[in-house]
Amino acid sequence: MTEFLSQFSNLVWRDIIDIALVAVILYQILMWIKGTRAVQLVKGLLVLLAVSSFSEYFNFQTMTWMLDKVWTMLLVALPVVFQPELRRALEQIGNGRFLSMHPSSAGTEELKKMVEELIKCIQVLSQNQIGALIVLEKKTGIQEFVETGVKIDGVVSSEFLINIFIPKSPLHDGAVILRSDRVAAAGCFLPLSQDNRLQKDLGTRHRAGLGISEVSDAVVIIVSEETGIISTAQNGMLKRFHDEKSLRDLLKNEILVEKAAISFPAFRRFGGGGE
Ligand SMILES: Nc1ncnc2c1ncn2[C@@H]1O[C@H](COP(=O)(O)OP(=O)(O)OP(=O)(O)O)[C@@H](O)[C@H]1O
C-alpha cells in the first residue's frame, strides 16, 4: 500500500510538473505571437484543424485526402513563409529573451525619463529643421527592421538622439528604433507605405514612418526636414502638426499608461488611465 502511494505521488508530481511546463510554454508562445502576423496564421491553422477533425470524424474520404495534402504542403510552405519569425524565435530562445514576461524590461520611472528625453530631442530637431524618423517598438516585435540598421543598445538621451540625426553624421539616414528605454538601432530601413491617400508633398521619410505603423503597433515620430513639422504614425494613420503638449500626451498614453496596464492587469481591465 505504501509502495503504491509513493508511486502514485511520484506520478502526480511528474504530471503536475509536466502540465505546468506545457502551460508556461504555451503562455510564452501566445505572448510572443500576440499582435504579430503569426496570430492570423494560428487562427487559420485552428480552423483547418477543426475542418480536418470534422472530416475524419464523419469519414469524408475525399475531403480528408485533400486536407491531408494541404497539411503536407503547409509543412513545407510554413517554414519558408515564416522564416524571419522562426529565426527570431530561435534567436530569442538562444539569448533567453523567450522566457522574459514582457519585452519591455524598463520600469515606469525609466520610461518617464525616456519620454521626456525624447520630447526634448524632438523639440530641438523640429526647431532646427533636422529631419528625423524615430520608431518606438511596442508589443509587435520589429527585430527584422532593427537588423537592417546598426545595432546600438544605448540608453535614450536627447543629446544622443540629436547627434544621430545631425546631417552628415554617419547614421542620420534611415530610422532610429527605440526598444523600451534604449536605442536599439539607427540607420534602419523601414517598409514604405503604399497608401495613396498620403499627401503628395510628403516624401519617403513620412511614407516609411507610415509603413512600419501599418505592419506593427509601433508608435512612430517623424520630424520634417523641410518644415520642422512633427508628425506621428500609428496603426497606419498619420497625425500631423504636433506640439510639445500633444506629443507628450500621446507618448504618455501609448508608453506609460500601457506599461502601467501591463504591470497591473486589473488597471487594464477597468480601462484605467493617467499615470
Ligand atoms: N525606407 C526608409 N526607411 C527609413 N528611412 C527612410 C526610408 N526612405 C527614406 N528614409 C529617410 O527619409 C529621408 C528622405 O526624406 P524625404 O525628403 O524623401 O522625405 P519627406 O517625407 O519629404 O521628409 P522631409 O519633410 O523631411 O523632407 C532619407 O534621407 C532617409 O533618411
Banded pLDDT at 84 (limits 50, 70, 90): low
Quote the DSSP letter at residue 180: T
pLDDT band at residue 90 under the 50/70/90 scheme: confident
Domain boundaries, the chain: 2-94, 108-269
Q: What's the pLDDT tens digit per position in 242-272?
A: 999 999 999 999 988 765 554 443 333 333 3
State pTM to two decimals. Answer: 0.67
Whether residue 188 is predicted with pLDDT greater than 80 in this model: the reply is: yes
Residue by residue, DSSP assigns 81-144 as: HTHHHHHHHHHHHHTTGGGSS-S--S-HHHHHHHHHHHHHHHHHHHHTT--EEEEEE-SS--HH
Q: Taking 90 as the threshold, does the pLDDT of residue 233 lie above it?
A: yes
* Cell output for 29: 508562445
What would the pLDDT profile of 49-69 be if each residue is shown by its tens digit? Answer: 999 999 999 999 999 999 999
- pLDDT of 71 over the 60 cut: yes
Pocket test for ligand 1, best of 130, 133, 204, 223 (most atoms within 8 A of CB): 204
pLDDT tens-digit series, residues 115-133: 999 999 999 999 999 999 9
- Ligand 1: lining residues by beta carbon, under 6 Å: 131, 133, 173-175, 189-190, 192, 202-206, 208, 224-226
Classify 108-269 by CATH class: alpha beta
Instruction: Give the amino acid at 15.
Output: D
Q: What is the mean pLDDT of residues 14-36?
A: 83
